[in-house]
Amino acid sequence: MEYTAQMIADYLKGEVEGDRDQILTGFGKIEEARPGELTFLSNPAYTKYVYTTKASAILVNRDFVPEKKIKPVLIRVNDSYKALAMLLNLVEQNRQQPAGIHSLAFLESSVQTGKDVYAGPFAYVGKNVKIGDRVRIYPHVYIGDDVRIGNDTVIYPGAKIYHGTVIGKNCVLHAGCVIGSDGFGFAPTAGSDYEKIPQIGIVELEDYVEVGSNTTIDRATMGRTVIRHGAKLDNLIQIGHNVDLGERTVMAAQTGIAGSSKIGKDCMIGGQVGINGHLKIAEGVKIAAKSGVHNSIKKDNEIVSGIPAIPMRQFRKMLFYMKNLPEIYQKLRELENKFQELSK
């Protein structure tokens, strides 16, 4: 990367404040950046570093007002965080991408591939698979029979995609994820044994879905497990059979959703959240980290926390009283003693 501050401002439809010809060759965190690097200010907690950073330029919001003189060039934009995302995407797109089917990759003869497909060493693609244009399949990926993969999807090393899975366009599947493994279905029988219930459904990822490393998405018992358009899953997440995850919903690491729950669109789910099976979560719901959701959440845009998860305002009140329990207990003991004295 080597651009002038003005070139970057033009691309972002922003304005330069300072040396328009300042050369920028990379990116850096605002507190660690070096000369020649571009950084950004989005979180007000980092404002103090604007005056000490060694970066040569800083992306800031248009309404940012410095309290004293700033040495780096300022590039003012409508939203500095979104502007950074645009630049990083531009850099990623300009990276040289692998191409062609490697001689050590194995594709069954019935596989249909689009244009400019890449398959790395030791990747396996099963029978009757259909692969769209510009799909990248990195080494050691397993793709089972009858899978469908849309244009511009990227599948990183070691991912496993079971038979019948449908993957849309522009999806990203990170290393080690497993898509389409059996749902957890067992019927108790006489004695202590369990009868396995065959899982004959599929998993479908709609367009622009991203699945983090070592995340697992179980196939449906019957029908589909669906991850809808634009949903983003972090690493180490478990999605149970027949779950329906809404559009643009985002989910942090180590969260688990039990089977047949339906999550609305535009939800935000923190890390280590547990969601019970057969529940419905309304649209725009936010679930704080480590919460346990035992019942459906019916109100759109509700914010919940705790085990069991309750509305955030109620949870904060409860937390306040919990912090004061020792004092409350002591006062109760004193009142009890006084009551006993008065009774005598």
Q: Which residues are the active-site residues?
A: 241
Q: Can you tell me the distance from the alpha carbon of 41 to that of 60, in angstroms, rounded to the nearest whole number?
A: 5
Q: Can you tell me the distance from the alpha carbon of 335 to that of 71, in angstroms, rounded to the nearest whole number?
A: 64
Question: Would you call the peptide bond into 308 cis, given omega within 30 degrees of 0 as the criterion?
Answer: yes
Cβ(70)–Cβ(51) below 8 Å: yes
Q: Can you tell me the distance from the alpha carbon of 235 to that of 45, in angstroms, rounded to the nearest whole number?
A: 27
Q: In the 8-state DSSP scheme, what is residue 98?
A: P
Cβ(168)–Cβ(149) below 8 Å: no
Query: In what order do the strands lie in the sheet containing 37-40?
Result: 15-17, 73-77, 57-61, 37-40, 26-27
| Number of helices and strands in the chain (H, E) | 4, 40
Cβ(113)–Cβ(134) below 8 Å: no
Nearest alpha carbon to residue 159 among 93, 205, 201, 222: 205
Token digits of residue 265: 């669109």
Using DSSP, state whether 256 is helix, strand or coil.
strand
Q: Can you tell me the distance from the alpha carbon of 80 to that of 41, in angstroms, rounded to the nearest whole number?
A: 7
The strand pair at 15-17 and 3-4 is best described as unpaired
